[in-house]
Amino acid sequence: MRKAAKDTKENKDSRELIEALEQLEKEKGFKKEVILDAVEQSLLGVCRKNFGKADNVFVTIDRETGELRVWVEKTVVETVADPTCEISLEAAKEKDPGVELGDIFRDQKESKNFSRIVAGEAKNVIIQKLREEERKNLFEMYYEKEKDLITGIVQHYVKDKEDVNINLGKIETNLKASEIPKGEVYRPGQRIKLYVVEVKDASRGPRVTVSRSHPELVKRLFENEVTEIRDGIVEIKAISREAGSRTKMAVWSNDPNVDPIGACIGMKRARIDAVVNELNGEKIDIINWNENPALLIENALSPAKVIGVWADEEERDAIVIVPDYQLSLAIGKEGQNARLAARLTGYKIDIKSETQAKESGLFEELGYDGEEYEGYSEFEEGEEGAEEYYDEDEDYEEAEEASEETSENEEE
C-alpha cells in the first residue's frame, strides 16, 4: 500500500510538471518541448556520473504523462569484464527470459531513486530556460524593429549626463546626448518616436540603440504618414539632415499621375505638418529627384534660383552660378543650405555669384556664351524643379541674416 501511495505521488508530481509547462507555454510562449529537452539533457549528465559511462546512459520524459525513464544499454556476455557496459546472461535473463548472448540489453533503472534530483534539476533548468527564452523572445521582438520606428516614454535624464532614459515597453534604454537634436528637451512621461539604429543580444537582455537625430527617422515618419510611400508609388531617393534645424529630402514618383511633393505635403499640409510637429518644428525642404546630376543639384539648392550648374560626374564636384542677389540664399545661414545640398546629392558644390563668375573669367572657362548652358547636362531655362516645397518667408529671412553676416565679415 505504501508503494502504491508513493507511486501515486510520483505520478501526480509528473502530471503537475507537464501541466505547469503547458501553462507556461500558453502564457509566455515558451515551448514545452524545448524545456523538456533541456531537463532531459541536464538529468542525463547527472545519471552518467552515477553510472560511470557516458554513451550508454539514456533518459526520457514522457511528453504526455511526465513519467521519467532511465536506462543503461549493456551487452549480454557470459563473463562480465566491464559492469558499466556489460551484463551477464544470467542476470539479464532474470529480467528478460528471451535475451541471448550478444544482445543489447536495456537495464531499466528505478526512476524514483532520482525523484529528488529530478525535482531540483527540473526547477533549475526551467528557471534558466525561462530566462533564456524570455531574453530570446525579447531580442526577436526588438530586432524586428531594427532600422524602424519605435515609441518610447521618457523616464528621466541620466544623472551627471545629458542622456535620457527611455522606457520601450519591455526594456529600457538610454537616448544618448549625441543622438538628441539640438534644442530638444523632454519631460518625464512624454511619448516620443525614436529610430532604432541597432539591436544587440546581451546576457541581460537586448541592448537597443536609438536615435532622434538620424536622417532615417525623418524617412520613417514620412513612410508612416504618406500612403503613396508605403505603397511604393513615391520613393524617398535621398535625404540629408541637420537634426533640430533642417532636412532636405529628394522624392520621385513611379506614377506620372502622382505628384511626389504634393503627396508628401498632403491636403492642407496635414502630412508634412504631422512630421514637423513630431520633430518639434524642424524645417523640411522636399525637392524633386532627378537622375541628371546638374538638375538634381539645382533642385537641391532650392529655394535659390540658379543660372547654371556644371557637374563633373567622375570627380563628383560641381560649379554653380547664381544671380548676385541669390548668393546668400543659395549658401544659406552659416552655409547650411549649400551643405545640406552637397550631402543630398553627393557632390562637392562650389557656388559663385554671376559677378564673381564674370570677373574671374569662369563663364569663358566653362564655355558659357549667355545663351546656351554648355556642360549643364541639358538643363534649359524654366526646367528647374519649380515644385520644391519650402517656407519662402523663413528662407528669405535667413538669407537676409546670412547676407548681413557676410557684410559684417567683409567690413572687419
| DSSP per residue, 157-221 | EPTTSS-EEEE-SSSEEEE-GGGSPTT----TT-EEEEEEEEEE--TTS-EEEEESS-HHHHHHH
Question: Residue written as cell 535659390?
Answer: 304
Strands 164-167 and 149-157: antiparallel
In contact, 125 and 39? CB cutoff 8 Å? yes
**Nearest CA-CA partner of 261 in 293, 222, 207:** 222
What integer pLDDT is reported at residue 310 of this predicted model?
92
User: Domain of 192: which CATH number?
Assistant: 2.40.50.140
What is the average pLDDT score of the chain? 83
Which pLDDT band holds residue 54 (cuts at 50, 70, 90)? low
Q: Are residues 111 and 8 in the same domain?
A: yes
| 235 and 259 fall within a common domain | yes
| Shared-domain flag, residues 120 and 153 | no
> Do 331 and 387 share a domain, yes or no?
yes
Q: Which residues contact 20 (CB under 8 A, 6 or more apart)?
A: none
Q: With beta carbons less than 8 A apart as the criterion, state whether 338 and 322 touch.
A: no
CA 195 to chain centre: 8
Helix 115-143 vs helix 2-28: crossing angle, to nearest 10: 10
Residues 328 and 264 in one domain: yes
Shared domain for 226 and 198, answered yes or no, is no
What is the average pLDDT across 367-388? 45
Whether the full predicted model's pTM is greater than 0.85, yes or no, is: no
Last residue of a domain, one of 141, 164, 189: 141
Short-list 303, 299, 193, 182, CA closest to 245:
182
The number of angstroms, rounded, from the C-alpha of 54 to the middle of its chain's C-alpha atoms is: 44
The CATH number for 61's domain is 3.30.1480.10
Residue 117: what pLDDT?
Answer: 63
Q: Would you say residue 51 has pLDDT above 70?
A: no
Domain of 156 in residue numbering reads as 149-210
Of 164, 187, 210, which residue sits at a domain end? 210
Query: In whole angstroms, what is the distance from residue 206 CA to residue 156 CA?
Result: 20
Domain end marker among 109, 141, 173: 141
Q: Which residue has the higher pLDDT, 94 or 223?
A: 223
Judge contact between 109 and 70, C-beta under 8 A.
yes
CB 167 within 8 A of CB 155: yes
In the chain, the percentage of residues whose pLDDT exceeds 70 is: 79
CATH number at residue 303: 3.30.300.20
**179 and 289 co-located in one domain:** no
Query: pLDDT-based confidence at 321, cuts 50/70/90?
Result: very high
Whether 295 and 167 map to the same domain: the answer is: no
245 and 307 inside one domain: yes
Task: For residues 236-264, give the mean pLDDT.
Answer: 96
Q: Are residues 29 and 114 in the same domain?
A: yes
Nine-digit cell at 65? 504523462
Confidence bin at 67 (pLDDT 50/70/90) = confident
Highest mean pLDDT among 107-111, 120-124, 212-216: 212-216
Q: Domain check: are 100 and 81 in the same one?
A: yes
42-56, 84-98, 281-295, 331-345, range with the lowest pLDDT = 42-56
Strand 57-61 relative to strand 68-77, pairing: antiparallel
Residue 351 DSSP SS3? strand
Quote the CA–CA distance of 75 and 87 in Å, as a whole number: 6
Q: Give 58's strand partners.
A: 71
Instruction: Tell me the per-residue pLDDT of 5-41, one tens digit each, with 9 for 90 and over.
Output: 445 566 666 777 778 777 877 776 667 787 788 778 8
User: Domain tally for the chain?
Assistant: 3
Instruction: State the Cα torsion 287-291-294-300 to the nearest 10°.
Output: 20
More confident residue, 336 or 119: 336
For residues 400 and 259, membership in a common domain is answered with yes
Residue 279 is predicted with a pLDDT of 95
Contact, 76 vs 89, CB < 8 A? Answer: yes
In the beta sheet, which residues pair with residue 309?
Answer: 320
Both ends of the chain: CA-CA distance in Å? Answer: 108
